[in-house]
């Protein structure tokens, strides 16, 4: 038993899949961002622009480009938290590098709208690939 009550294992529930946002799932280097911008597929949404490129690592990775043009630090950080949460909940099963550029319209948006826009962008990528 943990301090906060019984754990999921003790309560007889099945363990959840690993939903953490691990360091190896982050895009960090500028050269990686530039490569994804240049060679990836650009998908525009209402709240964000998404760049997607298959990678050789076999695991999905996320990068968020919220520049100072987007707004003050508080607003940039909120946008990044929302995008990370959407990625964390809906990780692609194969190796994709995903770079999200938030738009100012994301400022007042609820998480459900951000999540829907993120999923729609990834869905448009999949449908374009199968249609092409």
pLDDT, tens digit (0-9, with 9 covering 90-100), for 41-70: 999 999 999 999 999 888 999 999 999 998
pTM: 0.80
What distance in Å separates the CA atoms of residue 66 and residue 116, rounded to the nearest whole number? 19
Low-confidence residues of the chain: pLDDT under 70: 1-18, 126-132
Q: What was the pLDDT predicted at 20?
A: 76
* Alpha-carbon dihedral 35, 37, 40, 46, rounded to 10 degrees: 160
Q: Are strands 61-64 and 96-102 parallel, antiparallel or unpaired?
A: parallel
Q: What was the pLDDT predicted at 16?
A: 55
In the three-class reduction of DSSP (H, G, I as helix; E, B as strand; rest coil), residue 122 is classed as: helix
């Amino acid at each position: 038993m943990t301090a906060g009550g019984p754990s999921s294992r003790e309560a007889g529930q099945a363990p959840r899949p690993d939903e953490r946002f691990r360091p190896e799932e982050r895009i960090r280097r500028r050269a990686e961002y530039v490569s994804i911008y240049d060679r990836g597929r650009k998908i525009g949404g209402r709240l964000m622009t998404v760049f997607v490129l298959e990678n050789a690592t076999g695991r999905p990775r996320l990068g968020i480009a919220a520049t100072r043009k987007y707004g003050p630090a508080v607003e940039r950080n909120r946008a990044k938290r929302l995008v990370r949460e959407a990625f964390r909940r809906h990780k692609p099963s194969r190796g994709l590098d995903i770079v999200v550029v938030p738009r100012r319209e994301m400022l007042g948006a609820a998480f459900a709208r951000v999540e829907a826009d993120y999923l729609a962008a990834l869905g448009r990528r999949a449908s374009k690939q199968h249609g092409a």
